[in-house]
Amino acid sequence: MTRKMVHGANETTELLKDMLIVQLGLAGVPQQKIRIIARCDIGRVNGIMKHLKTRSGGTTDVASAKRK
């Protein structure tokens, strides 16, 4: 593989990890568990999660927001 192909694969992997963190955050999974699942540091999880909008009551849990 060329260097450019490897770099593109790394960017794709990192983007997919970010998307996984967002989806797990929206599902209400705790940050420590997200860190373990995504195999990254807590700073990355926290940095992404702080941009998610919280529902009333301070949770990002979509299921509980639908019940209200």
Nearest partner of 16 among 8, 6, 5, judged by Cα:
8
Residue type, 14: E
* Residue 43: per-residue pLDDT: 96
Q: From first to last of its 68 residues, what are the pLDDT tens digits of the chain?
A: 566 666 777 999 999 999 999 999 999 999 999 999 999 999 999 999 999 876 655 555 555 555 55
User: Would you state the pLDDT for residue 30?
Assistant: 96
User: pTM higher than 0.95, yes or no?
Assistant: no
Question: Domain map of the chain by residue range?
Answer: 3-54
- Token output for 48: 């992404």
pLDDT the model gives residue 2: 66
CA 4 to chain CA centroid, nearest Å: 26
Q: Output the pLDDT for position 60.
A: 54
